């Protein structure tokens, strides 16, 4: 596997990888056994990586979530599922490349997969609009979700977007309405839904396919009402304040787990997913199977009741004192992560 591009704070990890690759090449060329030294360097690399990734500040987490080599929806579909059959179109306007839908099997379990598609190459990214979906993308997702309900198939939603497309055409075709309708309809769909935030999960673009019975996050993904740059532009009038905005948004997977929004944070193996995609896919596959089996064992009415309760419990609000002498301190705005 080719070595991914290194972010500044990842340099110690990649310096060790370069040394390991040099030793492997020397070992093969000279026919000498350097396996013990290589394994020692591997152990040191894992130790350094664990230290680096355990101490990332929020903006660094965002950088990892956006890494150009980070596996996205199509990568995980290829690594985890079999018999994937893509479905197209919203039966109203067109086929949005930013949203991919299709039937698949997960270790023999038949299901529907729906997710944001960013593209890898420049040409693919343009065709997919960098994962910024139009109204027809969200309508396509909901049409396929209803199809899954009719066929009694569970649904896996892969979220990886900086938001919905903000252009005039999207507004003219009802982007806000399509997202709102998806949120309402997904909340009552009578099949299990597991949402997974793979990288970016920002704004209403994430919420359009972000309602489910379980919300899982990869370790270095983020989930937020807005991107750090967008928040900085609004609050500080400067995108240069993106690092401060990232910290203020409480957007990391650790934050989401603590706030009760994420149900589980899925580890990305020893290193981040952009370095070890197959190991990250293995961890995610195990988590998906576990949650799907739990949800499939529930009666439908219990499933819907728990889904309703899950979203009703998001957020913390303090009421005025019983004597009416004033309100307490400001409410904790955890629910703001689930609004566009």
263-322 pLDDT per residue, tens: 999 999 778 999 899 999 999 999 999 999 999 999 999 999 999 999 998 876 666 766
Mean pLDDT computed over 200-224: 97
CATH number reported for the structural domain that contains residue 169 in this entry: 3.90.226.10
Cα–Cα–Cα angle for 303, 265, 191, rounded to 5 degrees:
20
Instruction: Render pLDDT for 44-60 as a digit per residue (tens, 0 to 9).
Output: 998 998 899 989 999 99
Q: Does an H or E element contain 197, and which?
A: strand 193-202
Rounded CA gap, 123 and 120, in Å? 8
CA-wise closest residue to 204 among 234, 225, 220: 225
What domain range is 31 assigned to? 8-55
Which has the higher per-residue pLDDT, 296 or 32? 296
Residue with tokens 């303090």: 318
325 part of a folded domain: no
- Tell me, yes or no, whether 197 and 246 share the same domain: yes
Rounded CA gap, 164 and 208, in Å? 9
Name the token pair of 1. Answer: 């596997």
Q: What pLDDT sits at residue 6?
A: 79
Mean pLDDT computed over 184-203: 97
- Tell me, yes or no, whether 91 and 216 share the same domain: yes
- Tell me, yes or no, whether 40 and 184 share the same domain: no
- From 16, 34, 55, give the residue that closes a domain: 55
Residue with tokens 């740059």: 229
Cα–Cα–Cα angle for 312, 315, 318, rounded to 5 degrees:
110
Rounded CA gap, 224 and 204, in Å? 9
Q: Are 331 and 237 in contact (CB under 8 A)?
A: no
- Tell me, yes or no, whether 142 and 34 share the same domain: no
Instruction: Render pLDDT for 244-263 as a digit per residue (tens, 0 to 9).
Output: 999 999 999 999 999 999 99
Indicate left, alpha or beta for 157 from its phi (over 0: left) and psi (-120 to 50: alpha). beta
Rounded CA gap, 193 and 198, in Å? 16
- Tell me, yes or no, whether 147 and 213 share the same domain: yes
Structural domain total, the chain: 2
Q: Are 111 and 149 in contact (CB under 8 A)?
A: no
Rounded CA gap, 28 and 56, in Å? 36
pLDDT at 62 over 70: yes
256 part of a folded domain: yes
Q: Please tell me whether residue 303 adopts helix, strand or coil conformation.
A: helix
321 part of a folded domain: no
Specify the pTM: 0.88
Q: What pLDDT sits at residue 3?
A: 61
73 part of a folded domain: yes
- Tell me, yes or no, whether 42 and 182 share the same domain: no
- Tell me, yes or no, whether 208 and 66 share the same domain: yes
- Tell me, yes or no, whether 189 and 169 share the same domain: yes
- Tell me, yes or no, whether 40 and 125 share the same domain: no
- Tell me, yes or no, whether 42 and 155 share the same domain: no
Q: Where are the alpha helices (DSSP H) in 71-117?
A: 73-80
Strand-pairing partners, residue 194, are 156, 214
């Amino acid at each position: 596997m080719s070595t991914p591009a290194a972010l500044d704070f990842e340099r110690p990890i990649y310096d060790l990888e370069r040394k390991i690759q040099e030793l492997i090449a020397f070992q093969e060329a000279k026919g000498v056994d350097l396996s013990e030294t290589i394994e020692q360097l591997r152990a040191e690399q894992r130790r350094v990586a664990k230290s680096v990734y355990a101490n990332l500040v929020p903006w660094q987490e965002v950088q990892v979530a956006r890494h150009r080599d980070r596996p996205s929806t199509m990568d995980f579909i290829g690594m985890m599922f079999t018999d994937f059959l893509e479905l197209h179109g919203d039966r109203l306007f067109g086929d949005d490349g930013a949203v991919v839908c299709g039937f698949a099997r997960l270790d023999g379990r038949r299901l529907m997969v729906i997710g944001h598609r960013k593209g890898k190459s420049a040409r693919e990214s343009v065709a997919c609009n960098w994962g910024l979906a139009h109204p027809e993308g969200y309508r396509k997702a909901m049409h396929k979700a209803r199809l899954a309900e009719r066929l009694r198939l569970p649904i896996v939603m892969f979220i990886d977007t900086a938001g919905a497309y903000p252009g005039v055409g999207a507004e003219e075709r009802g982007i806000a309405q399509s997202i709102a309708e998806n949120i309402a309809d997904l909340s009552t769909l009578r099949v299990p839904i597991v949402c997974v935030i793979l990288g970016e999960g920002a704004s209403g673009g994430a919420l359009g396919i972000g309602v489910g019975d379980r919300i899982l996050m990869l370790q270095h993904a983020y989930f937020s009402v807005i991107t750090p740059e967008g928040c900085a532009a609004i609050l500080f009038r400067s995108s240069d304040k993106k690092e401060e905005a990232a910290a203020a948004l409480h957007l990391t997977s650790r934050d989401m787990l603590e706030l009760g929004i994420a149900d589980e944070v899925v580890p990305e193996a020893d290193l981040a997913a952009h370095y070890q995609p197959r190991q990250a896919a293995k961890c995610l596959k195990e988590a998906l199977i576990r949650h799907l089996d739990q949800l499939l064992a529930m009666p439908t009415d219990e499933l819907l009741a728990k889904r309703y309760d899950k979203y009703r419990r998001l957020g913390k609000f303090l009421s005025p004192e019983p004597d009416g002498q004033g309100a307490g301190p400001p409410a904790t705005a955890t629910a703001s992560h689930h609004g566009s």
